[in-house]
Each structure stands twice: as structure tokens, then as C-alpha cells.
Amino acid sequence: MYLGIDIGTQSVKTLLYDLDRATVHATSSEPLPLRSDRDGTREQEASWWIVALEACVARLPGAGRRAVRAVAVSGQQHGLVPLGSEDEVLAPVKLWCDTTTDQQCEEITRAFGGRKHCITSVGNAILPGYTASKIRWLKQHRPAAYDALATVLLPHDYINLWLTGERVMEYGDASGTGLLDIRKREWHSKMLQAVDADRSLADVMPPLVGAESPIGRLRKSVAEQLGLPGNVPVSSGGGDNMMTAIGTGTVVAGRMTASLGTSATLFASAQQAVIDTAGDIAAFCSSTGDWLPLLCTMNCTVATELTRRTLNMSLEEMEAAVAAAPVGAEGVVTVPFFNGERTPDLPRGKGCVLGLDDSNYSSGNLLRSAMESSIYGLRYGLDAFSRNHCSVDSLRLTGGGSSSAVWRQMVADILNLPVTVQTCNEGAALGAALQAAWVDSGDGLVDLLDAQLSVDEPRCCLPSTQRTAAYSEHYDNYRRQAEVVMRLYL
């Protein structure tokens, strides 16, 4: 058995994977609270993750837990876990979806020499989601915590610390801080200086490690507490997108994954760094030794869930209403910037519904428009990948949205790609378990994944030529409407 742990925004999930039978043995999850405010604050306490993790593992079968050979952790990217000299957490964790640091982004970008210089030198622009601006925000708004800062960790790194006692950061997740030179895989000294010219932040950044070796072994006290074998290896783990790439087999060129969750991500595997001069694609490292060019939109199932709850519909009723509404929602256009937005970079953006008249104002059109708009964001991303010479021939779909037949077909039609869904659709937790198996077994990663991951043929779908052509026109209309909204919040 291999244990995968996923520290998400909405919940903690644990997964036991049986490598011999190529199947998930058991899963458990525990919801997480979220501290939010209208100013864009999104925070959690690191202690909440530990409590939820303990509850999750306790619900896994005892025999399965005792058979665990290795552990790996996936975590929501970018969150700042500030630690003191005794590994104490000094402040609430500002999360990836926190948008209060746009001023700090501007200050860092200006100090470094401008947005274009950030992209060409480091690989990424400095965005509110990334960790860099959160460090500067901590200095300005929680100075006592900043003065006591001894180590900067990300959410999955903090769980690794709790499991092993080791303070390290893996290349893939580290590339989402905005502080890593993704070509050289080392901290960028000038970017660290741009965040704070008065202090050597190199002293608080942890050592960087690759994904191919364990970072340490499970501490005896933690093993006893969780009912796991003592001294088992803990691999580096990684960010949730990096682990999802492993869990969907997106580890070779030509494969792409779209994850439909609270946010939506689109990413591919590349053997060299992909630097998008427009800044739409994040130039991340993978957790396999390669690179993971990625586009993230902050509003995916958020748009449909807000609309569904407003209309007081069940999931089944929403699915039926969307299926009955026509392609293009009769001209109703949702611009879904409900949580602000990363792509395009609009941390203060707001959601809008446009194109309404007395003939198309219906629940079905409102719901379908919300769903279509989320996929239009991925279509924009696909165009950005093409612009950067990343060719893709297949798309693997994962995340909560992939369980919907309407979502799956809509993705195929709007992106004009065959959509594949796996038999096991556990995403990041599965990827973590498989990374642990890879590190423990010493097998080649591609061969291991090809042997373990199977496709759910009945749920796969092909694009419809007629609907794809219709969506091309509707997408152009969406882009025109979105650009009007974008000008309001730039």
C-alpha cells in the first residue's frame, strides 16, 4: 500500500493505493473551514490541516494502514506558512486564492524592473496568488510575525515537516512562489531582494530538493499516532497540480490535463521550460524532473455553484437544465470573475451576466452560460499553449466537474479535443500515492503509470463538429464581452 495525502482548500483527502492490484484500496476526506472576507482575504490555520489529516487517516482500514510502504503529500499551491525558529506557525496561512496582495505585487514588480523583466528573468510574473507577495504583505501587515520569521514553507511542505521533521521545498511547488529561477531550479537572489531589500530572505528559504528520492522517514511518534509503520520513506510530494499531472499520466509530451474544481487548471508536460512572454502560462517545474506549463483560472465550479444555489436547484436539476438549454445559452454571457481572476490578471475583478433580454432570461440559460464561461477560460489557455508551440493531441479531464456528462462533452466541443476520463479519478491524492510508489520501487515513472492508470471508456467523449463550429462563434462573443468587463477592473 502507498498513502497519498492531499491538503486542499475545501478538504483534506487521504488515499490508500494497492500497487499489486492497480486499484484504490480506500479513501477518506474531512472538510476544512475557510476564513474569507470581502476584501479578498482567504486564510486557513495550519493546525486545521493536521486535525483533519488525523481524522482522515483514522478512518482508513487498519490493515491497509499497517501495509503502507511509503507516503507522499500533495498540497494547494502558493500558500504562505511562516515558521519561527522552533517550527511554530507565526500567522494564519494566506492561501492561493487570497487576492489582498495586489499592491505588494506591484511593489515587487517595480523593484525588480517591470513585469516583462520578471517573466524573462525568473519565468513568471509576480501575481497575487503567488507566495512572493504574501511575504511582503506579512512584513507590512504582521511585522511581529515577520521579524520572527525563520523559515518559509508551502502547505505541503508543512505537512512534510510534521511527518518527518525535515524543512525542505520541492522544485515543482517552489516554482509557484514566484521566487524560483525555473530554468536553473534555484532561488533567484535578485527577486528575493525585490521582495525585501532590507533583509536577506535567502536565509529563510528552505533547501530545494528533487522528486526522485525520499526527503526523510516517518517520525516514530507520528507513525504511532496515525497507525502507520514506523520509519517508512516520505517522498518529496508536490503542489496539487504537479501531483494531478502524475495521477493523470501527464508526464510525457503531447498529453494535457484539465482539472475542473473551484478553480480550473490546464497543464501539459514539457522537457524544457516554457516561458510565455505574455504571462498567461505559468512556467512551472514539474514534480518529475521536467516542466509543467500551466494556466489557472480562479473561477470554475464557483460560477455554476453560485448560480445553482441562487436558483435553489439540486445537482441533478442543474445537469438537466443545462442539457436542455441550447449551445451558447441564447446569447447569455457570464463573465465569471467572482473570486477576482488570475488569467486574465484581475485580482479585483467581479462576476457579471450580460446579454439578457426578455426572451432568453431563463434558469437553463443562466446555468449553461455559467458552465460555458468556465470552459471558455480553458479555451483561452489552449490558444496560449498553441502560441508557445506546445502541441497537444489528447486531454485528460479530472476534478469534480469531470463527473458530469454535460461538462465532459462541453469541454470536448469548446476545446475541440478528445476527452479522456480515467477509471480512478482521484487526481492529486492518487498522484501523491503513485509518486510515493515510484520513489519506493525505483521503477521508471512512465512505465509505472502506464501499468497503473486505466481509462473509463464509456465516459470518454469526442468533439462534435457542429457544436465545435457553433462554439467558435460564441467564444468570440464571450471574449468581446469579457474585454469590456476587464476594462472596468484593470
Tell me the pLDDT of the chain averaged across its residues.
94
Q: Please report whether residue 310 resides in a domain.
A: yes
User: Last residue of a domain, which of 175, 208, 240?
Assistant: 240
Question: 303 and 409 share a domain?
Answer: yes
Query: Does position 400 have pLDDT exceeding 80, yes or no?
Result: yes
Q: Please report whether residue 149 resides in a domain.
A: yes
Instruction: Enumerate the active-site residues.
Output: 240
Q: Please report whether residue 455 resides in a domain.
A: no
CB 293 within 8 A of CB 267: yes
Question: 17 and 161 share a domain?
Answer: yes
Which residue did the predictor score with more confidence, 141 or 485? 141
Question: 188 and 132 share a domain?
Answer: yes
Query: Does position 457 have pLDDT exceeding 90, yes or no?
Result: yes
pLDDT digits (tens, 9 = 90+) for 408-437: 999 999 999 999 999 988 889 999 999 999
Q: Please report whether residue 75 resides in a domain.
A: yes
Q: Please report whether residue 109 resides in a domain.
A: yes
Rounded to whole angstroms, the Cα distance separating 96 from 9 reads: 9
Residue 205 is predicted with a pLDDT of 98
Q: What is the pTM of this model?
A: 0.91
Dihedral sign, Cα of residue 311, residue 317, residue 322, residue 324: negative
Q: Please report whether residue 297 resides in a domain.
A: yes
Residue 323 is predicted with a pLDDT of 96
CA distances for 219 relative to 13, 20, 30, 211, angstroms: 21, 26, 23, 20
How large is the average pLDDT for residues 78-82? 97
Query: Does position 16 have pLDDT exceeding 90, yes or no?
Result: yes
pLDDT digits (tens, 9 = 90+) for 129-168: 899 999 999 999 999 999 999 999 999 999 999 999 999 9
- Kindly report which listed range (45-54, 66-75, 400-409, 469-478) carries the lowest average pLDDT score: 400-409
Give the rounded percent of residues in the chain with a pLDDT score beyond 90.
84
Residue 148 is predicted with a pLDDT of 98
Question: 141 and 283 share a domain?
Answer: no
pLDDT digits (tens, 9 = 90+) for 299-338: 888 999 999 999 999 999 999 999 999 999 999 999 999 9
pLDDT digits (tens, 9 = 90+) for 166-186: 999 999 999 999 999 999 999
Specify the amino acid at residue 171. Y
Q: Structural domain tally of the chain?
A: 2
Question: 190 and 292 share a domain?
Answer: no
pLDDT digits (tens, 9 = 90+) for 349-389: 899 999 999 999 999 999 999 999 999 999 998 999 999 98
Rounded to whole angstroms, the Cα distance separating 410 from 403 reads: 13
Q: Which residue is associated with the grid cell 469541454?
A: 411
Q: Please report whether residue 300 resides in a domain.
A: yes
In b/e form, how buried is each residue of 93-104, taking b as 16+ CB within 10 angstroms? bbbbbbbbbbeb
Question: 124 and 196 share a domain?
Answer: yes
Rounded to whole angstroms, the Cα distance separating 129 from 116 reads: 18
CA distances for 221 relative to 73, 218, 225, 226, 348, angstroms: 18, 9, 6, 9, 45
Q: Indicate the Cα dihedral angle 322, 325, 326, 332, nearest 10°.
A: -90
Strand partners of residue 216: 234
Residue 341 is predicted with a pLDDT of 87
Residue 489 is predicted with a pLDDT of 85
Q: Please report whether residue 346 resides in a domain.
A: yes
Question: 230 and 286 share a domain?
Answer: no
CATH of the domain at 105: 3.30.420.40
Question: 100 and 158 share a domain?
Answer: yes
How large is the average pLDDT for residues 17-27? 96
Question: 317 and 198 share a domain?
Answer: no
User: Last residue of a domain, which of 240, 275, 308?
Assistant: 240
Query: Does position 119 have pLDDT exceeding 90, yes or no?
Result: yes
Q: If DSSP states are collapsed to H, E and C, what string results for 275-335?
A: CCCCCCCEEEECCCCCEEEEEEECCCHHHHHHHHHHCCCCHHHHHHHHHHCCCCHHHCEEE
Residue 444 is predicted with a pLDDT of 92
DSSP state at residue 430: H
Residue 343 is predicted with a pLDDT of 85
What cell was used for 467?
Answer: 457544436
Q: Would you tell me the crossing angle of helices 465-489 and 405-415 to the nearest 10 degrees?
A: 90
pLDDT band at 237 (very low <50, low <70, confident <90, very high): very high
DSSP state at residue 455: B
Nearest Cα residue to 296 out of 399, 211, 222:
399
User: Last residue of a domain, which of 208, 240, 272?
Assistant: 240
Domain coverage including residue 73? 2-240
Question: 31 and 121 share a domain?
Answer: yes
Question: 301 and 178 share a domain?
Answer: no
Question: 199 and 228 share a domain?
Answer: yes
